[in-house]
Amino acid sequence: MNTTVLVLGDDSDWESYERFCKQLQKHHSKKLNWVTATYDLLEKNELPTIKSDTIIIYLFFPFTYWDKHIEKEGYKGVYGNVEFYNKLRVFWSEIHRTLKKFYRGKKIHFVNHPLKIAIDRDKELTKTILSENGVKVPISYYTREYGDILKLIDQENKKLFLKVRYGSMGKGITYMEEGNWKTNFRFEDGKILSPRPDYGWTFVDITDNVEFLKEILTKDIVIEEAVDSYKLDDIIFDLRLYVFYGEVLYIFPRTNKKSAITSNISQGGQGRSSHFLKRFPKKVIDRAVKSGVRLAKVMDVNFAGVDVMISKDFKIYVIELNTFPGFIKVRRFNLSKRIIQRLENRKWN
């Protein structure tokens, strides 16, 4: 076997990297060599020696680096600002340079290229690229005048999301409609505060708190109109599509109670089985699949979690792109196994 897959991740990533490595322990390959390593080993220049001429590098999220250098303990700034994005881009540039140097002379393929992998963290840039390429995304507003926002929600009956531009996991979201403002930031003494734990971002009521609105408009945010989604019982929902090399491997429906702001699992959402999809016409699901595949192609990534919503008139809106989507539980769908199979069946020369 003249091709090796290097799986590079972080020991603290129990949700994705650890699940993938456990699947590899059960796997016996006749087509590819498989090796795993961590970013800690890369930093120490102790990556595994690979004799194969061709190397496929599969990158997982660097949680330890993120917690130590970006969203670190005691951080006083507002989550999801441009500093987060810039530091992450520098990190991936260094990873790219180190890997190319360490495996000099090898033919390297990246599942997701390190110089493109951080783009999902810039929500505005992502939306712009998608819109220019015919992918339907929510309507954006670019004002930073609080009076304009009040007019939109009070006079024009708009429902708005104010999201941090460089965030993920449903963190740093403010929802506004007439008589109902909620945020999962905290606001004390005129300052916006960011909860530290990943799962501590519960929504609180800030209805008519104009001082909060004025302050959030000074931060790195995107403002978009809420999708008038298809109504289904007493729940809200979206669909996460796991796209891998132009194929949707699995569609993961996520739901939450009707009063909730998002259906993110980290925000209290619940995963549903694929039987949930039978509640929609097949042609609608087919359109969602096409949108997910098109998005990954446009953004030039080979693996992504694409979050979509279905509007009341059955149009598909792309809400978010995730180049490091969390892996669902194996008992629901063995995503790791399917990815391994797809990598082994591809032609790499």
Amino acid at 143: T
Beta bridge partners of 255: 237, 270
Q: What are phi and psi of 121, to 5 degrees?
A: -75, -15
Amino acid at 243: V
Tokens, residue 208: 């008519």
Beta bridge partners of 225: 160
From 236, 229, 240, 316, select the one nearest 268 (Cα to Cα): 236
Asked if 126 and 299 count as a contact pair (C-beta separation under 8 A), the reply is: yes
Tokens, residue 234: 């007493």
From 56, 68, 108, select the one nearest 343 (Cα to Cα): 56
pLDDT in tens, 32-84: 999 999 999 999 999 999 999 999 999 999 999 999 999 988 788 899 999 99
pLDDT (0 to 100) of residue 234: 85
pLDDT in tens, 195-236: 887 778 999 999 999 999 999 999 999 999 999 999 888 899
Hey, where are the domains in the chain? 3-118+337-345, 121-137+228-322, 140-225
Packing angle, helices 123-132 and 282-298, rounded to 10? 110
Tokens, residue 292: 């997910």
* Distance between first and last Cα of the chain: 12
What CATH number is given for 3-118+337-345 in this structure? 3.40.50
Distance CA 238, CA 40 (A): 36
Tokens, residue 53: 């001429």
- Check: pTM over 0.85? Answer yes or no: yes
Q: Predicted confidence band at 188 (pLDDT cuts at 50, 70, 90)?
A: very high
Per the rule left: phi > 0, alpha: psi between -120 and 50, beta: everything else, 268 is left
121-137+228-322 is classed CATH 3.30.750.24: no
pLDDT at 163 over 90: yes
Amino acid at 177: E
Please report where in the chains the tokens 């809400």 appear, as a residue: 319
The reply to whether 121-137+228-322 shares the fold of 3-118+337-345 is: no
Helices and strands (H, E) in the chain, number of each type: 9, 17
